Amino acid sequence: MRSSRSLSLGLVALVALVALFATGACSSYINQRAADSTYQILVQSQVAVRRLADVELARDALPGGVVQLAAFALAYPDHRGFAELYAESACQYPIAFVFDDWEAASFAGDTTKAARLTDRLRGLLASCVDANLALLAPAWRHARTANSWQDQLASATRDDAGALRWIATADAIAIALAPMAELAKVPATLATLRKVTALAPGAHDADAEILLGTLEAQLGALGGGGDGSARFELARKTLGAGALIADVMYARAVLVAHRDRAGFTAALERVIGAQLATWPERRLANELAVTKAKRYLAAVDTLIAR
């Protein structure tokens, strides 16, 4: 009788245990489905943002998006997609908008505003770098502090390319803010961009190729060497028609380095006169490119003296 009762109790306990695991598994499944659905909506929202014609709307919306994505990354720590979206947004806001404000203030000679934006950018860029280091193996963070970054690049894979691209871009912005103070970052930034272009050529609108061409042109103007033209040629071939930022940065970097005032003016005027509705999937990027083109054209006497 006792053994029969023990067996019954054992079966009850087993059924309860199975039910507990089944409930947990169901909860986990539902949670994962919710995460996947939310992630897909956020990915599509980025597509919608790229189609925006109103730059100010995008500028106002992005800071809230950064905070929201940080919350999703915390809520779903096992879903790498949220961490990647957050890391990207944490870089996009300072690089696309705050740095643009700094550049405008600098060209306008507003040193007070430029200094304030420099301080703000340093904090935002540090967050950008930190978020992308979190996507990489711990050895990368150690290499960053141990001054062995270029050695670590030998182990980089294609999966690392996105985070490395953002880190290099943040470092390039830091160099632009204070060239002499950040001069030590130049070799590692160039090496990182070259590694990224080798691992994932043309990825993310050929950002790495365009930035690398810009840096090579500027350095070439100072001390000889290449002028970055080949990088821009590759970017244009990858992107096809309608990626106006490639033409703007080619003018800003290569044509300024060559002191080609006529070519510089003509290139920027073509960008300004472009029909942006022709490429709806690039609308926001092209609106930003036109803004830069107008700024650089207005500063032609500063950039290329007669």
Give per-residue pLDDT as tens, 78-96: 889 999 999 999 999 999 9
- Confidence at 273, pLDDT banded by 50, 70, 90: very high
Q: Which residue type, as a one-letter code, is found at position 143? A: A
- CA dist 189 and 249 (Å) reads 18
Whether the Cβ atoms of residue 121 and residue 102 lie closer than 8 Å to each other:
yes
- CA dist 164 and 251 (Å) reads 26
Please give the angle made by the CA atoms of 57, 252 and 153, to the nearest 5 degrees.
85
Instruction: Tell me the domain boundaries of the chain.
Output: 221-306
Enumerate residues 6+ apart whose C-beta is below 8 A from 93.
62, 63, 66, 124
- The whole-number average pLDDT for the span 59-82 is 90
Q: Does residue 289 carry a pLDDT above 50? A: yes
pLDDT in tens, 148-196: 999 999 999 999 999 999 999 999 999 999 999 999 999 999 999 999 9
- The whole-number average pLDDT for the span 286-305 is 96
Enumerate residues 6+ apart whose C-beta is below 8 A from 279.
241, 242, 286
Structure token digits, residue 240: 């096809």
Residue 49 confidence (pLDDT) = 84
Residue 221 confidence (pLDDT) = 84
- CA dist 117 and 157 (Å) reads 34
Residue 47 CB-density burial (10 A; 0-12 exposed, 13-18 middle, 19+ buried): exposed
Q: Does residue 287 carry a pLDDT above 60? A: yes
3-state DSSP assignment of residue 108: coil
Please indicate whether residue 273 or residue 38 has the higher confidence score (pLDDT): 273
pLDDT in tens, 31-51: 677 777 887 888 888 888 889
Mean pLDDT of the chain, nearest integer: 89
- Confidence at 21, pLDDT banded by 50, 70, 90: very low
Structure token digits, residue 116: 């304030």
3-state DSSP assignment of residue 134: coil
Residue 203 confidence (pLDDT) = 92
Residue 97 confidence (pLDDT) = 95
